[in-house]
């Protein structure tokens, strides 16, 4: 797992740990909210290019099985 994934997992585990101090759980929740906001902002800023990449990737992987009909 990458570093960000491990960090997010640790934050979620801290939030769920009912034996942890409430202050620490709240800090973990605030950090998770901040990451959510940062990631959402990044996706919103780059969504057009991300969609172009995924559509280009999809067209490379899916063969075109369409027939042309002349009328």
For residue 71, the model assigns a pLDDT of 62
Give the residue carrying structure tokens 């009912």: 18
> Could you tell me the residue ranges of all domains in the chain?
3-57
Q: pLDDT for 37-63, tens place per residue? A: 999 999 899 888 888 877 777 766 655
Q: What is the pLDDT of residue 9?
A: 96
18-32 pLDDT, tens digit per residue, is: 999 999 999 999 999
Rounded to a whole number of angstroms, the distance between the first and last alpha carbons of the chain is 55
| Number of CB atoms found within 10 A of residue 58's CB | 9
**Among 3-7, 28-32, 67-71, where is mean pLDDT lowest?**
67-71
Q: Using alpha carbons only, give the angle 40, 51, 31 rounded to the nearest 5 degrees.
A: 15
What's the whole-model pTM score? 0.64
């Amino acid at each position: 797992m990458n570093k960000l994934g491990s960090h997010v997992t640790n934050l979620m585990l801290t939030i769920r740990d009912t034996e942890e101090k409430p202050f620490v759980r709240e800090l973990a929740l605030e950090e998770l909210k901040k990451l959510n906001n940062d990631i959402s902002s990044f996706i919103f800023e780059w969504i057009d290019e991300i969609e172009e990449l995924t559509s280009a990737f999809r067209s490379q992987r899916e063969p075109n099985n369409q027939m042309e009909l002349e009328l």
